[in-house]
C-alpha cells in the first residue's frame, strides 16, 4: 500500500460471487493507491474478515430467510435485498458519516465517496441527502449493461412461438444476440425485471461515474455509446484480477489438490469445466456432461458445486461404472482456485458458462473456450467469444454427450481448434497491453483515482 492519502472510500457489493469479486478487486486497487477502505456487506454471503485484514468490514442485516437465500430466482432475491437492506444501510452509512461533535467535520472530509454495485437501486436519494458522491460499479460487460435496458421493450414486443427460421436472426436492439438467445433470456424474466431495470438506469444516470471491469480492447464501441447515453464519466479499468487475485473473496473453499494433479498432465491437454457459482443443471444434464467428458478421452478437471445439480447433493447420481471411467482420465472437485487453474500450463480449454469474470480470466490466460451459457449476461458473452472474437466454440445449449465429446475433440485435435488458439493468443496480448503503463485500462484507472480525489475536494 502507498502512504495513506487521508481519504476513505465506502464500497457496497451485491452479495453474489460474480459481484463480490470485482468489488473486492477494486477495493484492493484503491487501497494500494492510499485510500482506506470500508466495505458494507449483507449477512448473506458475507466476505470473511480474516481474508481482508486491511479493510474495515461492516455487516448489515438483509432480512432474507433461509429459504430465500437458497432461491435460484436471482431477480426475486435482488428485489428483496433492495427492499430490506435500505433501512439498515441508511443507518450504517449515517453512523459512518457522523462522529463525536469535535470530529464531525474531519470525518466527513475523510469519506470521499460511495461505490456501490449497479444492482443496488435505493442508494441515490440516500447519498444525495447525505451529500455523499456516489459511483456505480457494474460487473458485466459494457455491451450487456448498455443493451439490457432494451429488455423491457423486447419483453413487450415478444411474440410466441419463435419460428425455426427466426432462431438465428440478429436482435437489432441488443447485438450480437440472436433471437433464440433473447427468448431464453426473457423466459426467465418478468415484469418485476422491467421495473428493476428502469431503477438501475435512473440510479446510474444520476451517479458521479460508472466503472467497468473491461477495457477498450474488449468493449470499445459500447463504451463510446455508454458515455454518450449516460453523460457521466465512464471508467473501463480493465481486468482487475491481473492486478490482484480474487481467491481471497471466494465464498467457497477451493480444492487445492487440483494443482498437483494438473502438474502431472501434459501441456495444453486438460479441459477445465466449471459453470460458476449460480448455474444449476438437471441430473440428466450432469450425466450427459459426464459421458461427453469420458468419451472425449481428454484429461479434464470438472468443478461440480455442492447443490449445483437439482435434486441431489453432489455427484451421487453418476453410476459407479461411469465414475470408474471418469476417474481414469479426470478429476472432479467441489470448487477450484480458478485463476490459478487457468494460468496452469496443462490447461488447453475451458468449458464455461461464460460469466463475465470467467470469460475475461480465460482471455487473459489465452485459454480457448467451449461456451455453454445458461442465464443473464452469459448469452451475450458467449456470442462475443464465438462470433465476434472467434476464440471459442458454442454448444448452442446442446447438453448432449456426442456434442460435448465432438466439440472437445475439435478444440484439442483439429485444425479449427489450432486457429482458435492463435486468435486467443492475439487477444490475450491486446488485453494484457491495456493494463500496462499508458494502456487504455491503465489510463482509465489513473483517471478514476483522480476523479475520486476531485469528488472529495468539492
8-243+436-457 and 249-433 share one fold: yes
The residue that leads in pLDDT, 283 or 187, is 283
CA distance 44 to 395: 34
**What number does CATH give the domain 8-243+436-457?**
3.40.50.2000
DSSP state of 176: T
Stretch 333-339: mean pLDDT, rounded?
A: 95
- Sequential DSSP letters for 220-289: HHHHHHHHHHH-S-EEE---GGGTS-SGGG-SS---TTHHHHHHTSPTT-EEEEE-TTT--B-HHHHHHH
Q: Indicate the pTM of the whole model.
A: 0.93
pLDDT score recorded for residue 105 = 45
With a CB cutoff of 8 Å and minimum separation 6, the contacts of 190 are: 75
pLDDT score recorded for residue 190 = 61
- Match 478429476 to its residue by C-alpha cell: 331
CA distance 83 to 195: 13
Percent of the chain beyond pLDDT 90?
78
For residue 249, what are the CA distances in angstroms to 13, 81, 137, 243, 273?
Answer: 12, 20, 17, 14, 21
pLDDT score recorded for residue 191 = 66
**Grid coordinates belonging to 409:** 475433440
- Match 457522523 to its residue by C-alpha cell: 98
Helix (H/G/I), strand (E/B), else coil: 350: strand
pLDDT score recorded for residue 183 = 86
Q: Where are the domains of the chain?
A: 8-243+436-457, 249-433
Segment 152-186, tens digit of pLDDT:
888 877 766 678 878 899 999 999 999 999 888 88
- Whether the per-residue pLDDT at 104 is higher than 60: the answer is no
| Fold assignment, 249-433 | Rossmann fold (3.40.50)
- Angle (CA) 419-408-379 rounded to 5° is 80
Are the CB atoms for 331 and 364 separated by under 8 Å?
Answer: no
Phi-psi region of 271 (alpha: psi -120 to 50; beta: other; left: phi over 0): beta
pLDDT score recorded for residue 187 = 67
Amino acid at each position: 500500500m502507498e502512504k495513506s492519502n487521508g481519504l476513505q472510500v465506502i464500497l457496497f457489493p451485491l452479495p453474489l460471487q460474480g459481484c463480490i469479486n470485482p468489488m473486492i478487486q477494486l477495493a484492493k486497487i484503491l487501497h494500494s493507491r492510499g485510500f482506506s477502505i470500508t466495505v458494507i456487506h449483507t449477512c448473506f454471503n458475507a466476505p470473511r474478515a480474516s481474508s481482508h485484514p486491511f479493510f474495515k468490514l461492516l455487516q448489515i442485516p438483509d432480512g432474507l430467510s433461509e429459504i430465500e437465500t437458497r432461491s435460484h430466482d436471482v431477480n426475486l432475491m435482488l428485489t428483496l435485498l433492495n427492499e430490506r437492506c435500505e433501512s439498515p444501510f441508511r443507518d450504517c452509512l449515517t453512523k459512518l458519516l457522523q462522529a463525536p461533535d469535535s470530529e464531525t467535520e474531519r470525518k466527513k472530509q475523510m469519506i470521499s465517496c460511495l461505490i456501490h454495485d449497479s444492482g443496488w437501486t435505493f442508494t441515490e436519494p440516500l447519498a444525495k441527502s447525505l451529500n455523499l458522491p456516489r459511483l456505480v460499479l457494474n460487473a458485466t460487460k459494457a455491451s450487456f449493461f448498455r443493451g439490457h435496458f432494451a429488455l423491457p421493450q423486447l419483453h413487450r414486443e415478444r411474440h410466441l412461438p419463435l419460428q425455426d427460421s427466426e432462431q438465428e436472426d440478429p436482435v437489432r436492439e441488443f447485438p450480437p444476440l440472436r433471437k433464440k438467445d433473447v427468448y431464453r433470456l426473457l423466459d426467465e424474466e418478468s415484469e418485476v425485471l422491467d421495473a428493476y431495470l428502469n431503477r438501475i438506469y435512473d440510479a446510474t444516470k444520476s451517479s458521479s461515474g460508472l466503472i467497468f471491469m473491461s477495457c477498450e480492447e474488449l468493449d470499445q464501441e459500447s463504451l463510446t455509446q455508454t458515455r454518450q447515453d449516460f453523460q457521466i464519466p465512464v471508467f473501463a479499468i480493465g481486468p482487475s484480477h491481473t492486478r490482484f487475485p480474487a481467491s481471497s473473496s471466494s465464498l467457497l473453499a477451493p480444492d487445492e489438490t487440483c494443482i498437483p494433479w494438473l502438474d502431472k498432465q501434459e501441456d495444453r491437454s486438460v479441459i477445465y469445466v466449471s459453470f460458476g457459482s449460480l448455474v444449476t443443471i438437471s441430473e440428466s444434464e450432469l450425466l450427459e456432461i459426464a459421458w461427453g467428458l469420458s468419451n472425449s478421452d481428454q484429461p479434464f478437471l470438472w468443478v461440480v458445486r455442492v447443490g449445483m445439480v437439482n435434486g441431489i447433493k453432489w455427484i451421487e447420481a453418476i453410476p459407479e461404472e461411469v465414475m470408474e471411467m471418469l476417474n481414469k482420465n479426470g478429476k472432479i472437485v467441489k470448487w477450484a482456485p480458478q485463476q490459478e487453474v487457468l494460468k496452469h500450463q496443462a490447461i488447453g480449454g475451458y468449458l464455461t458458462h461464460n460469466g463475465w469474470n470467467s470469460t475475461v480470466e480465460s482471455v487473459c490466460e489465452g485459454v480457448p473456450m467451449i461456451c455453454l451459457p445458461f442465464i443473464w449476461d452469459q448469452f451475450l458473452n458467449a456470442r462475443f467469444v464465438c462470433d465476434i472474437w472467434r476464440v471459442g466454440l458454442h454448444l448452442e445449449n446442446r447438453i448432449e454427450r456426442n456434442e460435448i465429446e465432438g466439440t472437445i475433440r475439435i478444440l484439442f485435435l483439429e485444425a479449427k481448434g489450432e486457429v482458435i488458439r492463435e486468435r486467443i493468443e492475439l487477444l490475450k496480448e491486446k488485453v494484457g497491453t491495456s493494463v500496462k503503463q499508458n494502456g487504455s485500462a491503465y489510463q482509465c484507472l489513473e483517471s478514476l483515482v483522480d476523479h475520486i480525489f476531485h469528488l472529495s475536494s468539492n
